[in-house]
Structure 1
Amino acid sequence: MSDRPVTGRADAARPAGTSCRHGPVPHTKTAVPAVPATSLARETLVAALDDAVAHRPVTMVCAPAGYGKTSLLAGWVAANGPGTAWVSADRRDNEPQRLFCTLARAIRRHRRVPDGNGLHGWCRRGGDAVGSVAAFVDAVEELPWRIVLVLDDVHEISDPSVWHGIETVIRYQPANLRLVLSSRADPPLPLARLRLRGDLAELRAGDLRFAEPEADALLRRAGVTLDAGQLTRLVERTAGWAAGLRMAARSLRRDPDRSDLLDEFAANERSVAAFLVEEVLAGVSEGTGELLRAISVCAEVSPRLAAALSGRPDAGSVLADLEREGAFVARIGTQEPRYRLHPMLRCFLYGDLRRHRPDDVGRLHATAAAGLAGEGLVSEALDEAAQCDDAALLGRLLVRYGPALLLRGAGDAVHRALETADRDPCLRGDPHLSLVAAVAHLQSGRPGPADVAASVPADVGVDGVLRTLLRSALALSRGGEPADVCDAARVGRPELQAWAWLNRGWIALTDRRVDPAREALRTAERLATEHGLYGILAHVEPAQGAAAWLAGDYGAAAAAHEARDRGTEPGPDVSLVLHRLVGAFFELVRAEPDAARRSIGAAAGVDLTGHPVLAYLVEVVTGTAGMDGGDRAAGLLRLRRARMALGATPVPAQVAAVGAVAEAGGAVSAGDDSGAREAADWLRERVGPSAEVALIRAWTAGVPVGVPGADGAGDPAVLPMLTEVHGRVHDIGLALSAERRTHAFELLHAALRAAEPIHLIRPFVVADPRIARLLVEHAGGFGSLEPFGLAIRHAVLGAGRSAGDGGVRLTSREREVLGHLAAMRSLEELAAALGVSVNTVKTHVRSVYAKLGVHTRRGALAEARQRGLVDVPAGDVRVPHPRRMRHADLDAAHDATDG
């Protein structure tokens, strides 16, 4: 306090003979307002206030009228106890002595002030303003307890001397004083300095807005229940404004037609109009009101667009002032400012504009459309143009910007504008617009109407490259002959250049030239990413997934498919089929046949008459999913018929290998070795000697496969990862049959390592059931591959067995023994814990093993954990690596001490 103005004690600072120059302080100014019964306790905000007041000298709650500032603070004060004083500021407080008299009285009212403190007799005090403020600070500092002082509605104070006094209190604020200021706009205080020092906590309009759960609770308290869609619309239209929600609740109780009311609530509801006129518009000049009406045609405006709409060069400055004053104007962005009216204020002003100046509405929309297009906000410009009376402007904007918007994945505005244009006789049938409409239909997966536009003659001046690309896309979607753009690299506009490279990639794929296809698609992806062409990416990514899959690059195929799943799915055309096929392939190899069937079913409406290879793949996936889903005979028959239907049609090696391996595997499982050999012969005719042919023949002959294609040994693999895992799993079964369990464990570890990158589970699921038992018995012995091993066990054995007793009935004593086994105790320790002999423990252990169908402690614990009978982490079942064992039999080594 050493740098405080020196005035001494308050009594010494008052000159003799002075008296208070203002009237008595009304009781209501220092009374905490009553909280309405319908108010909602906002626990998150109350907690934020608690934290702010506990850690910051000054807290500011700043939001426009009706955001619930006073109700929030009143509820918080009511819960905060007698240490909080309240003052409701008004215009009479524009005099320092009166305000500080009110503050002193508020503190005395809410807590007993010790006799002799300077806050007593304050209203009879005179003297200069600086001395009064210093005396007030001294008096508060002497209080033996902390005081929280809430000053509500400080926007009513405009006198600079009063604000100087408040700033002085903040500058020399005693440690036992906390100030809470509530205002509609930022007060004239050094807020930046307070923020920099960490002395200011703030709650603003964004914090006070009601989210949907709070809005729902508020409406229900008022007796109104809305469905989810209605609630979302209301919160969007009110922007979570508390007053708007309360007024809507009153109207919704009266009006049974909620749909119409929600759409026109702000424009027609009298209570809203009265509030906005009295609380928001009453403080602005007539010229400013006209500016706000003019810009209400736009969701948001730049200063330049506001000037064009209103005819006022200073429109940007006016909006900046309104934003600082909290007049329901929000600034969007920092570098290039844009301004947005509160949704309800905008709706009210636009409704007022339509009622009183209808002839200006179309002109303002046209001005807005031209201005937004000039600023690069083309979607917004199209929406504005659709509402103006200038058909020619709408047509020009659609032709100039429509294709680019569609290829950027922002086609909603284009579709809305095209619907408007189709209703206008001046635009209906225009060939330029027909081409835009054709692209829109193609992007949305409805290529039918595009035929008309694709045949538009060249002499109408329509973009030739766009027409060529459109015709090629239509041909590709229907199995026709696509057309290439001669030099894709020289196409001028980036969206057409990216489309041209995509088209070139598709053409290469249809010609089974996988490497050129992948190169062209990479170029298309780069251009689409650089220029934000998400509509192009929606088609590039499934094509990349298909190309990677055809190249045997399953990692890249999976990544492309997952990236596509995070975006918008392409329409019902060949692109969708390829996307679904790649997805179904990965669902199959991950042992999810039902999901694979659903994926293919979603593309069932696509005509594949001109795409026999795709049609074959669809049948392969569907048949394999049927076999894996339990209908082996029907699935196998479907695979055979699909292979025969191909005839002499050339197919990529990878496609042939996938079909042949799936068919042969099903045939072997059904005991039809001759059918499997037939599939192998067909595959050899198509692709020549390969590891897949060797795999099928090993299946039928019951001989080891080894590692297909490894280190130049054997024939090369068409499907390297898939074939390797199938081969290793086959060899594991042979090792188990030969009682070579250590070798089988080594093979299993290698198979898991090869399969884990793409979660390749199916080969384990369709294999010898003893492999699943090996996975269970050696649970915990696979290191970082253990989670993948657990996923395989769940797929093989069924995750549902982890509940209840897992189908095994153990006695209470056997359950107790199993628990001790999980704790890795020796048999002697277990016998001591149970108070029985070691032989009795061995009898219980053998009974547990028999019921679980295992022969080792590890197997018992793994099986018990799988069945939900014991809770032991996988890592706690310890198994040494086979190469570090001395015994040939892993189980015998581990269980020797168990007798």
Structure 2
Amino acid sequence: MQPASSHGTPALRTRSRRLLARQGLLDKLAGPGDRRCVVLQAPAGFGKSALLLSWQRELVSADTDIAWVRLANLAGGDLHFMAALMAALGDIDAAITRHAVAHARPDADAIERLVIALVRGIAARGRKLVLIVDDVHCAQSGNVLHALQLLVEYAPPNLLCVFASQDELPMTLAHAPASKAVLELRNDDLRFSLPESIAYLGMRLPDLDARAAAAIHRLTEGWPALLRLASVDVRRRRGVHSPLALGVPDPEPFAAYFHAHVFPRLSATQLRLLTCCAAPTRFSAALCADLAGESFTPAMCASLLEPLTREGLLSEAPQAPATGGERWWHLHPLLCSVLLSHFAAWPEAERLKLHATACQSFAVRGMHHQAVRHALAAGNCETAARLAEHGAVTLFVKGRLAEMIALVRQLDACTIGDNVHLGLWMAWVELADYRLDDCARSIERLRATPGRLDPAMRYRLTLLGCLLAIRSDDNDAVSRLLPELLAPPAAADDFALAGRRNVLTWLYLHTGDFEQARRIQRDDPLPLVDGEPVIGTLFGSLVGQCLVGLSFAIEGQIHRAERVYRQVLREAQERGAHCAEAARLTAQLLVEVLYEQHGPLVATRFIQEQLGTPDGLIPDTTLRMILVSNRAQQAAGRWPEALAHLADLTQADGLLQRFHMDRALACVLLEQLRIQLKSSDADAARATLRKMEALQARRPDAEASSILRRVADVGERARIHLAMHDGELPLALAKIETLLRRYEQRGQVGIVAALLLQAAEVERRLGHTEASKTRVCAALRLGHRLGLMQTLLNAHDDALPLIRTAAAIPKLDPVLAFFIERIEALAQSQHDEQTEPPPTQRFRDDRRLTRLLTLREAEIAELLQQSLPNKKIALTLGLSLDTVKWHLKNIYMKLDAHGRRAVAARMRHELELEHDESGSGK
């Protein structure tokens, strides 16, 4: 071996590497000046040598001497080690080893005598020297370990010993006297954080987007060697999407690594146990014993599995409910994929037996999802159906709707057969998956068999029909179900009754009876399940309060809506993950508040950073986020992009058309028409109007349909814009007057404010100056009372100059004058920000994405796990301290983690649930 010194690199220098500067770890290695020892202890592939190479660069730049010895390159034996050590030190300065050579005598004290001579030579040189001994686990002699221990104990102040090993070092070596401080870096310290993984993958794969990099990070869990192999696999495919970039484990790129570096370190029994435990997504020692066979006990399995957590092969999972406090683990995702390929090679009878055993074990523990999954894997569809039906009822009545949907999502049509109860639960899954047509057909089939559903199940069917109508934005369908909704049977469960309360609120706020909608939430008793209030789910009281806020927003009372939203969001964050749906809905509704107060650019940034995915939980939030996101493009003058975004949404296979969201579709078409007119493309605008008229003509009974009436009103607003563009000012004014009366009767005064400004512009063009000023003042008073600024700015293209004319009115009310200044400031801020707006969000249909942390939240969670305080997290990511605190609240809420240490476990649990559901949905 040719040892390294401060003038060279070890044998690793023959391989060209692109090393990621891991500044956090490098800062730890730099450490205090009185440190005497650094220990890097982790399995192969955790980047120990790469980290030391990066550190070596900094040490060389700081004019520090470096000696590097790799025990893996030695033939073995005491003499070989001491010769390599002396050669490495002699390469720095021959004076260091001169006395050691003179005192070399083969006796019992030879090792100690040589070490003493070396440390005297290092001390005499005086310069800082770092001695790196790599692959210490390869030491074949106790004398070698003794020599390393003596080097630490006798080290002069200018010597720092660094040891890298795959195995645990002897305690006497790893824990030197307190006066000679020791830094230990292990698996969790050496894993790449999410930002580091993204940076590393970006360095190797410049075209890889951050979402794909984050998916690969989660699969590899930051294991450096696995990250490198993943990058090789993505590059090898040359444009063909790698499953890894989609978060799907693929064993092929990693099998050779695990076979070469991981499996040889395991006993045959450990490997067998891990293979048994690869089939379930989580396991305990007792479950492992069940799967392994009669000769194994839980205690035996625990003793064999526990050491593997230190190897990075197992991670502790959150306790499963109703399991008596058992300790649970899950396998590293990529190791699990490799072991599953081993398991697939077992004889079929043995595999089926293991799945059947797992099914029984999970069923006893009340873990419904896992029990059904293994029943299906065992080929026992009858057992799967029975367990799913029982589990679905249990989860539903306890208010655990998301878990119920995940449970039933595993079943296929063959397993469900003609079981009407399972058919009902599958219809809930279809609704959750936004398969609205399938859900409607399922409800129709179930309603055709009334005698086969007991009263409680039938009431759940009624509730499902109401939710389908809400998601389809069909309030008339909800009205038709109102008699059934108001007459629950005695057998109706508490959770269904809780849902009834929120459905009624929804219906009343969309029929314009805002006070009745609010009265239901204010006066009706709080719904209870098992004596506990239903708070955080879709049917809970917090979502009910969200709807109260929405009733104010529809009226145009943005100030009051905001107060409700802020209060709900604060409570939801305090209560944790069980209120995630309420918190998400509230945040979506807050988008409108931000839009009114700060404009579309700020609101769109909020969608991206706080919500992650911009798909709304209800049609109202979907529409608001579509328009806000699009207006961010308009505010930046990116008209082609804005039009392309809207064109995508209005296609036959677009989101709005597929889900029959006619009201939202009409509003999007109106937005498209306005951009076309602003671009002086009147022909395209008229073609858009014809699409709106065709939308209205889908059914002839527009007067009988509240949705179609609203579609017709949106069409009239489009005609007003066209009339103003064409100079048909009296016609435009007449249409505005008609719509003003209509919206005032409905109490939708937010739209009234915009219409008043449009009327003022028409009056100005007609030369009616005083009438125009009167209309402007009326719009400003209404806007000020309701908290509307962006709505006034967006009323028409010349809204801002028109608003400014009011400022010149003699003795203008100071309140209105100040309100005008605020509107002008808002317009100026948008002008200042428009150089680089956030990109338009594309609206995904995958509802399950909403359960993941946003990329920014994941970055903060990774830094939080490194014990960084909030201020350092803010500095690292370039955020304000308040923004970091906001994200932390979201992280704790989504993961139900009430402390920093709980975040890692909760993140793993969330990913496990996602894996379960994606697997069952195939």
Normalising by the smaller structure, the TM-score range is 0.5 to 0.7
Q: 1:435 to 1:618 in 2, by over 3 A?
A: same
Q: 1:509 maps to what in 2?
A: 509
Q: Determine which of 460, 463, 469 is the counterpart of 2:457.
A: 463
Q: 1:836 maps to what in 2?
A: none
Say if 1:332 and 1:339, in contact at 8 Å, map to a contact too: yes
Say if 1:266 and 1:272, in contact at 8 Å, map to a contact too: no
Which digits, 9 at most, give the CA deviation of each residue in 1:516-574, with x for residues without a partner? 43566799999999876479999989967753432212354861556888266669x9x
Q: 1:482 maps to what in 2?
A: 481
Partner SS, residue 44 of structure 1: coil
Q: 1:750 maps to what in 2?
A: 818
Q: 1:111 to 1:640 in 2, by over 3 A?
A: closer
Q: 1:200 maps to what in 2?
A: 183
Say if 1:94 and 1:162, in contact at 8 Å, map to a contact too: no
Q: 1:247 to 1:521 in 2, by over 3 A?
A: same
Q: Determine which of 396, 410, 431 is the counterpart of 1:417.
A: 410
Q: 1:657 to 1:280 in 2, by over 3 A?
A: closer
Q: 2:422 maps to what in 1?
A: 433
Instruction: After TM superposition, give the deviation of residue 261 of structure 1 in Å.
Output: 11
Q: 1:214 to 1:676 in 2, by over 3 A?
A: closer
Which range moved further: 698-707 or 344-353? 698-707
Instruction: After TM superposition, give the deviation of residue 42 of structure 1 in Å.
Output: 0.7
Q: Determine which of 277, 294, 304 is the counterpart of 2:276.
A: 294
Question: Could you tell me which amino acid in structure 2 is paired with residue 58 of structure 1?
Answer: C
Which range moved further: 111-120 or 344-353? 111-120
Instruction: After TM superposition, give the deviation of residue 466 of structure 1 in Å.
Output: 2.1
Which digits, 9 at most, give the CA deviation of each residue in 1:76-124, with x for residues without a partner? 6589669322333479999999967764554235432257645753454
Q: 1:76 to 1:500 in 2, by over 3 A?
A: same
Structure 1 position 443 matched with structure 2 position 412: no
Say if 2:45 and 2:223, in contact at 8 Å, map to a contact too: yes
Q: 2:340 maps to what in 1?
A: 350
- Give the 5 Å matches for 1:307-456: 307-310=289-292, 311-314=296-299, 315-324=301-310, 326=311, 328-331=313-316, 338-369=328-359, 383-401=373-391, 413-414=406-407, 417-418=410-411, 421-424=412-415, 427-450=416-439, 451-453=441-443, 454-455=446-447, 456=449
2:358 and 2:191 mapped to 1: Cα distance? 32
Say if 2:43 and 2:166, in contact at 8 Å, map to a contact too: yes
Q: 1:382 to 1:121 in 2, by over 3 A?
A: farther
Q: Determine which of 528, 552, 555 is the counterpart of 1:551.
A: 555
Instruction: After TM superposition, give the deviation of residue 799 of structure 1 in Å.
Output: 10
Say if 1:281 and 1:289, in contact at 8 Å, map to a contact too: yes
1:625 and 1:37 mapped to 2: Cα distance? 61
Question: Could you tell me which amino acid in structure 2 is paired with residue 750 of structure 1?
Answer: F
Q: Determine which of 445, 453, 467 is the counterpart of 1:473.
A: 467
Say if 1:581 and 1:599, in contact at 8 Å, map to a contact too: no
Q: Determine which of 63, 72, 81 is the counterpart of 2:42.
A: 63
Question: Could you tell me which amino acid in structure 2 is paired with residue 440 of structure 1?
Answer: V
Say if 1:331 and 1:340, in contact at 8 Å, map to a contact too: yes
Say if 2:36 and 2:161, in contact at 8 Å, map to a contact too: yes
2:241 and 2:836 mapped to 1: Cα distance? 46
Q: 1:628 to 1:199 in 2, by over 3 A?
A: same
TM-score (norm 1): 0.62
1:412 and 1:321 mapped to 2: Cα distance? 37
- Which consecutive residues of structure 1, in runs of 5 or more, have no partner in the other structure? 1-25, 756-781, 801-899
Instruction: After TM superposition, give the deviation of residue 182 of structure 1 in Å.
Output: 0.7
Q: 2:568 maps to what in 1?
A: none
Say if 1:369 and 1:380, in contact at 8 Å, map to a contact too: yes
1:219 and 1:715 mapped to 2: Cα distance? 54
Which digits, 9 at most, give the CA deviation of each residue in 1:392-422, with x for residues without a partner? 343244334558699755799557612xx33
Q: 1:102 to 1:440 in 2, by over 3 A?
A: same
Instruction: After TM superposition, give the deviation of residue 391 of structure 1 in Å.
Output: 2.0
The sequence identity of aligned pairs, in percent, is: 18
Instruction: After TM superposition, give the deviation of residue 709 of structure 1 in Å.
Output: 12
- Give the 5 Å matches for 1:801-840: none
- Give the 5 Å matches for 1:565-604: 566=611, 575-576=618-619, 579-580=622-623, 583-584=626-627, 594=642, 597=646, 601=650, 602=654, 604=656
- Report the structure number with the largest CA radius of gyration: 1
1:535 and 1:136 mapped to 2: Cα distance? 74
Which digits, 9 at most, give the CA deviation of each residue in 1:821-863, with x for residues without a partner? xxxxxxxxxxxxxxxxxxxxxxxxxxxxxxxxxxxxxxxxxxx
Q: 1:825 maps to what in 2?
A: none
Partner SS, residue 361 of structure 1: helix
Question: Could you tell me which amino acid in structure 2 is paired with residue 64 of structure 1?
Answer: P
Q: 1:828 maps to what in 2?
A: none
Question: Could you tell me which amino acid in structure 1 is paired with residue 728 of structure 2?
Answer: D
Q: 1:149 to 1:718 in 2, by over 3 A?
A: closer
Q: 1:791 to 1:301 in 2, by over 3 A?
A: same
Say if 2:250 and 2:337, in contact at 8 Å, map to a contact too: yes
Instruction: After TM superposition, give the deviation of residue 429 of structure 1 in Å.
Output: 2.9
Structure 1 position 702 matched with structure 2 position 769: yes
Q: Determine which of 166, 170, 176 is the counterpart of 1:184.
A: 166
Question: Could you tell me which amino acid in structure 1 is paired with residue 413 of structure 2?
Answer: D
1:202 and 1:449 mapped to 2: Cα distance? 54
Q: 1:605 maps to what in 2?
A: 657
- Which consecutive residues of structure 2, in runs of 5 or more, have no partner in the other structure? 320-324, 563-588, 593-602, 838-922
Question: Could you tell me which amino acid in structure 2 is paired with residue 703 of structure 1?
Answer: E
Instruction: After TM superposition, give the deviation of residue 34 of structure 1 in Å.
Output: 1.6
Instruction: After TM superposition, give the deviation of residue 672 of structure 1 in Å.
Output: 3.4
Which digits, 9 at most, give the CA deviation of each residue in 1:441-471, with x for residues without a partner? 1122222233334425353457344222112
Which range moved further: 503-512 or 405-414? 405-414
2:197 and 2:347 mapped to 1: Cα distance? 35
Instruction: After TM superposition, give the deviation of residue 618 of structure 1 in Å.
Output: 6.7
- Give the 5 Å matches for 1:699-778: 700=763, 701-704=768-771, 721=788, 733=802, 750-753=818-821, 755=823
Say if 1:583 and 1:599, in contact at 8 Å, map to a contact too: no
Which digits, 9 at most, give the CA deviation of each residue in 1:209-239, with x for residues without a partner? 694664686699xxxx999999998877666
1:714 and 1:238 mapped to 2: Cα distance? 58
1:146 and 1:172 mapped to 2: Cα distance? 15
Say if 1:577 and 1:600, in contact at 8 Å, map to a contact too: no
Which digits, 9 at most, give the CA deviation of each residue in 1:53-81, with x for residues without a partner? 46453333332124453465468658966
2:120 and 2:656 mapped to 1: Cα distance? 83
Say if 1:57 and 1:178, in contact at 8 Å, map to a contact too: yes
Which digits, 9 at most, give the CA deviation of each residue in 1:250-282, with x for residues without a partner? 99999999999989998678x945x64564333
